[in-house]
Amino acid sequence: MLHVGVIGCGMIGRDHIRRMTDVITATQVVAVSDAFAENGKRVAAQYGCAFYEQGEDLIADPNVEAVVICTADDTHARFVLACIAAGKPVFCEKPLGVSAEECLSIVEAEMAAGKRLVQVGFMRRYDRGYRQLREIIRSGEIGAPLIVHACHRNLTHNDWHTSDMTIKNSGIHEIDVLRWLLGEDYATGQVLTVKQNSSATEGLLDPQIMLLETKSGARIDVEVNMSSGYGYDIQCEVVGEKGAIRLPDPATILKRTNCARSYEIYDDWSKRFIEAYDTEFSEWAQSLKQGGPVGPSAWDGYAACLAADTLIRARNERAILPIELPEIPAFYRSAGR
């Protein structure tokens, strides 16, 4: 049983606490921390575990074997670095940091510590559909992948959503999962702005299209659409030399009513990816028993953040920019699954 401490008891934090308590057999939440002490204490009481006002104190608790970070984005790096300093495995919700530089500092600290401790919450890699796509690509059945057409559509967006968040918080899932799917780094990036959806907030660039080119010359287009108006919909088609494969839609009832055959589309991500989250935490706990994390590494977190930063610049400058990721250090080469 892995004894876990969770820093950040917001919506996603509480969901992970529930998951590690009720769904995953190999984990037990022994401590929580939250910036809002009242909220954190309530959660601690509910799950019968310790509470710490300061995340650093939770990390220092000798009962805490591993840490999960679900705090505000701009505190991720601080807590991850503290875990590395304490020599404790840490699962950090994406993004790893708010800038490529911040991510790189984590990479350097982890390498200096000499041991992989960090895993980043890119849960798409745990979705059954993406895994099947990857298996088929690896089998060679469709030849080399040449093009990926993807889209990430939300039903609607929050008032505080910004044009940069479209790329850095939503699009980053595709940035990571497609890099993993193709097994390749990116060479260049470009962003197409699109006529604005009239139901999007004034001034928000919505939708946007991210264009990525891999080192080998494969091309990726990703529509990132925060106000699809119809549902939460994730699509991905990989076109290879001998065939094309497509991510399945969730299995839902076929209804024949009102002169239509129809299938439900979910309205948000939680229904769509709930199983991927369960698998992610289950495999993470399993991997820690077996020597260390094998999921998305700090390097992956850095690579995704660097690509996102570059895309934002490319969009602002209306240019096609190189994505200048350094050669992967040997330390990280065997990482990732």
If one asks whether residue 83 binds a copy of itself (CB under 8 A), the answer comes out as no
Q: CA nearest 70: which of 8, 4, 117?
A: 8
Q: Does residue 290 touch a copy of itself according to CB under 8 A?
A: no
Q: Would you count residue 243 as binding a copy of itself (CB under 8 A)? A: yes
Are the C-beta atoms of 214 and 146 separated by less than 8 Å? Answer: no
**C-beta separation of 122 from 277 below 8 A:** no
Give the sign of the dihedral formed by CA 51, CA 54, CA 58, CA 60. Answer: negative
With CB under 8 A as the contact rule, the residue among 31, 44, 66, 133 that binds a copy of itself is: 133
Site residues (CB under 8 A) for a copy of itself, limited to 249-278? 249-267
The Cα–Cα gap between 272 and 265 comes to: 9
Q: Is 18 in the site for a copy of itself (CB under 8 A)?
A: no
**Of 86, 79, 95, 114, nearest in space to 332 by CA:** 114
Among 98, 111, 113, 136, binds a copy of itself (CB under 8 A): 136
155 near a copy of itself, rule: CB under 8 A: yes
Q: Does 213 bind a copy of itself (CB under 8 A)?
A: yes
Whichever of 14 and 94 has its CB closer to a copy of itself, that residue is 14
Residue 163: which region, alpha, beta or left (left: phi > 0; alpha: psi -120 to 50)?
alpha
Backbone angles phi, psi at 174, to 5 degrees: -70, -40
Extract the tokens encoding 98.
């708010």
36 binds a copy of itself per the rule CB under 8 A:
no
Among the listed ranges 43-51, 67-75, 77-85, 215-223, the one in contact with a copy of itself (CB under 8 A) is 215-223
Q: Does 50 bind a copy of itself (CB under 8 A)?
A: no
Q: In which residue are the tokens 């037990």 written?
A: 28
Asked if residue 245 binds a copy of itself (CB under 8 A), the reply is yes
Question: Minimum distance from CB of 282 to a copy of itself (Å)?
Answer: 9
Please answer whether residues 29 and 20 qualify as being in contact, where contact means their C-beta atoms are separated by less than 8 angstroms: yes
Rule CB under 8 A: choose which of 228, 279, 297, 310 binds a copy of itself. 228
Residue with tokens 């080469």: 333
Question: Least Å distance between CB 100 and a copy of itself?
Answer: 25
What is the closest distance, in whole angstroms, from the C-beta atom of residue 43 to a copy of itself in the complex? 18
Closest CB 310 distance from a copy of itself, rounded Å = 17
> How many residues does the structure list for the chain?
337
What's the min distance (Å) between Cβ of 317 and a copy of itself? 13
